[in-house]
Structure 1
Amino acid sequence: MVDRSRVIPLLVACAIGMEMIDATVIATALPAIAADFGVHPLTLAVAVTSYMLSLAVFIPISGWVADKFGARNVFQVAILLFLAGSIGCAFSDSVWELVLARIVQGIGGSMTTPVGRLVLVRTVPKDRLVDAMALVAVPALVGPLVGPPLGGFIVEHFNWRWIFGINVPIGILGLALGAWILPRDDERTPTKFDVAGFAFMALGLWLLMAGLDTAGKGVVGWYVTVGMLIGGGVLLWLYIGHARRTATPVLDLKLLAVPTFSSTVLGGFLSRCGIGSLAVLTPLMLQVGYGFSPLTAGVLSISAALGAMGAKSAVKGIVRKWGFRRTLVVFSVATGLSIMPMGFSRPDLFPLGIVVLLLISGVTRSVLFTAMQTLTYADVDEAHTSQATSFASVAQQLSLAAGVAVGTVIVHVFAGLGFQQPGTGLPTPMAFAFALVVVGFLSMGSVFSFAALPKSAGENYLPGGPKKRPAAPVAPSLNAIEGSVVELEPDPDRSVAARKR
């Protein structure tokens, strides 16, 4: 008889791996897709941001959906949606067809990781749960390493459509295995769903991000862009008022009254924007600016992920020695400084230069993101852990999407100022170089929020800290830190897992 407790973690890990690789594989394929569609490569940034925004919008409701319809059913539907979106991407013939398919992928992806982890919690014996969770965490580390070079290899030797086609056999296998091996759920009663709040938040975020994505790129008229930005702002303002009057809002804004939470979630927004920009601008600069092949660009791009993985063992010692405030201040500045010179490294003459800078950037962001994630939940009590994890996950996805949108707009602006390649209108290397300087300064903006933290912030996670800790802290102690967010898709599952504690 099949041991479900061993097979189910493998199934969940494969499903999450499919999502994680797909999130990073597209960056090196953007120039090829743009050439096929006859559009500017920077325009294709919307294919990245639309996916991230779908994750941000639908992550908060994943727990409610799982309780309402059953984790098994939702996990299967999530794989099916992701599979359908992948097929749609592979057969797209225009930017907007690709965007629509990426949105469908994002909806499926928003459920895959959190509900997949929830399936583990409900089906795997407690004495095996740690090993199961460790296996499921592997794709988050492997995705950023495999995705860029895999995308480059497929584009260079086959066709860009196959970067989405490879999901099809994996998805079909996952559906078949899930139908066979996943047990049916016990009946559960979900909490009341905030329909109005979800509508305000979802539409507001979509309009705001669409406005950022189209700003200055000539995709739509300027008045349309301004209208989307204003409309998105108005809807989010309406959500703020609604959330204050609702007992169970989609995102609880009262959490912003917790200093450590607001500082790391809102203050850290700019740091994540910088990393989001870098993940897309680097392969674009290498291919569009310097003429590197997709495979070479993909291989060079993984240097940051290697640096992040190599640095994770040092995080505990750094935070223990310096404390959270100093660590966040120093490494937010260091991350911004590591981004700024990348465009001037002349990878066409000295490829090792950008490799070293990407490695350094990976190291600094690994320390920064791990410290931020740990401190985020330091002062959040048990009653609010579910809302806090949802809020943090949404903010992470939004910051990465905003980084991609803003970064490509900045490149477009510099290209419009004259930094264009003759005859093609494509940005020159200097357009990317100046844009990365701006992105680096933007990333360092988080330092003001971190510097305002009290020196004692997070001391309950440090040796010699106060014995009294917040009720049921949801962040791991520094002894339990196993890794850091090194991928474009930060782990969104904590909202569901916390909800079941």
Structure 2
Amino acid sequence: MSAPVSSPLPAGSPHKPLLWLVSLAIFMQMLDSTIVNTALPAMARSLGESPLQMQSVVFSYALAVASFIPASGWIADRFGTRRTFLAAIVLFTLGSLACALSPTLRWLVAARVLQGIGGAMLLPVGRLAVMRSVPRAQFLSAMSFIAIPALIGPLLGPTLGGWLVEAASWHWIFLINLPIGLIGLGAAMRIMPDHYGLRRQRFDLAGYLMLAFGMIALSLALDGASGFDSAHALALLLAVIGVAALAGYWLHAAGRADALFPLSLFQVGSYRIGILGNLFSRIGSGAMPLLIPLLLQVGLGMSPMAAGMMMIPVALAGMAAKRLAVLLVERFGYRRTLMVNTVCVGLAMASFVFVTAHQPLPLRLLQLALFGAVNSMQFTVMNTVTLRDLDMDQASSGNSLLSMVMMLATGFGAATAGSLLSAFGNHLGAHGDGATAALHATFVCVGAITLSSTLVFWQLPENRPHPRAVEEVAE
């Protein structure tokens, strides 16, 4: 999908305050999505839980975001971007406070859901306000500006989370959002414009409920698969109900022109393949931010701070690899690049089976950097191939569905990793060498899941785009 060349934003642009505000909101959300991972073992000790069964803290947030993204655009059109954005900041900040005050894992999961509802509206509504405020000639420059926090947040998150756990307690990884949220709330009341939809459209409530219920049921089924006996029966029941709800939405959307996500999107071959490839490839990628800190802390005995710093090579290599993705697609095309890179990502995940306490530090850093590089290239090329052939009428709903699938797959990944860890832990042990062996086995499994997505990308036609078509689609 190409776009006209964008002129840079002038130094004194009246839109700069809005861009800084949206950037702050994106930074707060991206920081929160990564800062939690290095704190999970400390949370587990504080709440009396096993560190191998803390995946619900991660997947509940991702699932809440995925479930509410489809409604965020309609809410902003109906109630205005200003009120919706203010409500999103308030919900996210209150959710952060509730997380810090949670006495049990169940309370923490419920608070993460509240956080996720606010987070689901922060990024889409902020981006929508920018789209409707900034002149089209400066739109690409504006989007590039607000994309920077999406790169910085994952870079700082794990290290900051580890430092806060050591210097204070895990509660501060949520309390740190309070001053940021208050600053953002005060700034939004003065800066955020109040845009409404050009035309009132009735919300497809029936379709939304079927879609959201299907996603939630399947996610809970994946998480419940770690149990035994009656829990297995409940997981199977949830899986069947979830599939039925999604099938019901498919039939519902087929007969409506105002469906949340019209089925005409799937008539575009590259979009159809890209969405399915994103879903299956990101399950493995969604598991890694949970698994790597657990391996470093539970398996190797590293401190939270040291484990967080070990994630820096992943983020730095990911940022550096964005340009390489453009060159590879220009040279070899989407199909070959994605098929080869997907294999590299799967093997990089499985290679963590060789991470031990005796592994030389330079080799460990190189392994983390290589994973970060190929994983980042995977995201860049997958997103580009998904959106490139959509026309203007399909761009908004197509991008929203992609955002929903990305968060849903992240939740699926965390739930799958937790279920695998629980299953392997029951056989190999949940402590000491048994926990390390369970983690190693889980890395192999999520690598295999990622490798399976090559069967989806195999269906892509051979073609080579103009490099700008890759550069202009951000993660």
Counterpart-to-counterpart distance in 1, 2:227 and 2:99: 23
Q: What amino acid does structure 2 have at the position aligned with 1:63?
A: G
Of 213, 233, 249, which aligns to 1:239? 249
User: Where does residue 312 of structure 2 map in the other structure?
Assistant: 302
Counterpart-to-counterpart distance in 2, 1:240 and 1:43: 34
User: Where does residue 168 of structure 2 map in the other structure?
Assistant: 158
Pairwise CA distance, 1:373: 1.0
Is 1:462 aligned to 2:461, yes or no? no
Of 451, 469, 472, which aligns to 1:477? 469
Q: Aligned with 1:291: secondary structure?
A: coil
Distance 1:192 1:298, change over 3 A: same
Pairwise CA distance, 1:309: 0.8
Are the aligned partners of 1:46 and 1:405 in contact in 2 as well (CA < 8 Å)? yes
Counterparts of residues 369-388 of structure 1 (less than 5 Å): 369-388=379-398
Distance 1:449 1:126, change over 3 A: closer
Where does structure 1 lack aligned partners over 5 or more consecutive residues? 464-475, 486-501
Of 289, 292, 299, which aligns to 1:279? 289
Is 1:430 aligned to 2:437, yes or no? yes
Pairwise CA distance, 1:190: 3.0
Counterpart-to-counterpart distance in 2, 1:481 and 1:3: 22
RMSD (CA atoms): 2.1
Are the aligned partners of 2:54 and 2:418 in contact in 1 as well (CA < 8 Å)? no
Q: Aligned with 1:346: secondary structure?
A: coil
User: Where does residue 159 of structure 2 map in the other structure?
Assistant: 149
Pairwise CA distance, 1:219: 11
User: Where does residue 10 of structure 1 map in the other structure?
Assistant: 20
Pairwise CA distance, 1:124: 3.8
Counterpart-to-counterpart distance in 2, 1:185 and 1:264: 31
Are the aligned partners of 2:27 and 2:153 in contact in 1 as well (CA < 8 Å)? yes
Counterpart-to-counterpart distance in 2, 1:132 and 1:453: 32
Q: What amino acid does structure 1 have at the position aligned with 2:444?
A: V
User: Where does residue 51 of structure 2 map in the other structure?
Assistant: 41
Are the aligned partners of 2:286 and 2:414 in contact in 1 as well (CA < 8 Å)? yes
Pairwise CA distance, 1:429: 1.4
User: Where does residue 101 of structure 1 map in the other structure?
Assistant: 111
Counterpart-to-counterpart distance in 2, 1:182 and 1:269: 33
Are the aligned partners of 1:411 and 1:427 in contact in 2 as well (CA < 8 Å)? no
User: Where does residue 178 of structure 1 map in the other structure?
Assistant: 188
Are the aligned partners of 2:55 and 2:417 in contact in 1 as well (CA < 8 Å)? no
Q: Aligned with 1:379: secondary structure?
A: coil
| Total equivalences in the alignment | 464
Q: Aligned with 1:317: secondary structure?
A: helix
Pairwise CA distance, 1:343: 2.6
Is 1:339 aligned to 2:333, yes or no? no
Alignment TM-score, normalising by the size of structure 1: 0.88
Counterpart-to-counterpart distance in 2, 1:220 and 1:61: 34
Structure 1 stretch displaced more, 249-258 or 265-274: 249-258
Counterpart-to-counterpart distance in 1, 2:353 and 2:302: 14
Distance 1:220 1:300, change over 3 A: farther
Are the aligned partners of 2:129 and 2:195 in contact in 1 as well (CA < 8 Å)? no
CA offsets, 1:111-148, max 9 Å, x none? 11111122223334556544433321111100111000
Normalized per residue, the structure richer in helix is: 2
Are the aligned partners of 2:313 and 2:369 in contact in 1 as well (CA < 8 Å)? yes
Counterpart-to-counterpart distance in 2, 1:414 and 1:187: 50
Is 1:446 aligned to 2:453, yes or no? yes
Structure 1 stretch displaced more, 44-53 or 371-380: 371-380
Of 391, 402, 420, which aligns to 1:410? 420
Where does structure 2 lack aligned partners over 5 or more consecutive residues? 1-11
Pairwise CA distance, 1:302: 2.7
CA offsets, 1:336-356, max 9 Å, x none? 111111131214542333321
Counterpart-to-counterpart distance in 2, 1:93 and 1:348: 37
Counterpart-to-counterpart distance in 2, 1:310 and 1:209: 33
Distance 1:304 1:3, change over 3 A: closer
User: Where does residue 370 of structure 2 map in the other structure?
Assistant: 360
Counterpart-to-counterpart distance in 2, 1:253 and 1:365: 29
Pairwise CA distance, 1:261: 1.1
Of 89, 93, 98, which aligns to 1:83? 93
User: Where does residue 314 of structure 1 map in the other structure?
Assistant: 324
Q: What amino acid does structure 1 have at the position aligned with 2:205?
A: V
Counterpart-to-counterpart distance in 2, 1:212 and 1:70: 36
Distance 1:306 1:284, change over 3 A: same
CA offsets, 1:296-339, max 9 Å, x none? 11111232211111111222211111011100111000111111
Are the aligned partners of 2:261 and 2:401 in contact in 1 as well (CA < 8 Å)? yes
Counterpart-to-counterpart distance in 2, 1:102 and 1:178: 23
Are the aligned partners of 1:68 and 1:188 in contact in 2 as well (CA < 8 Å)? no
Are the aligned partners of 1:342 and 1:354 in contact in 2 as well (CA < 8 Å)? no
Counterpart-to-counterpart distance in 1, 2:90 and 2:228: 35
Distance 1:53 1:192, change over 3 A: same
Of 223, 226, 230, which aligns to 2:240? 230
Q: Aligned with 2:54: secondary structure?
A: helix
Is 1:54 aligned to 2:46, yes or no? no
Pairwise CA distance, 1:292: 0.8
CA offsets, 1:419-456, max 9 Å, x none? 4436xxx9521211111111111101111111122223
Q: What amino acid does structure 2 have at the position aligned with 1:392?
A: L
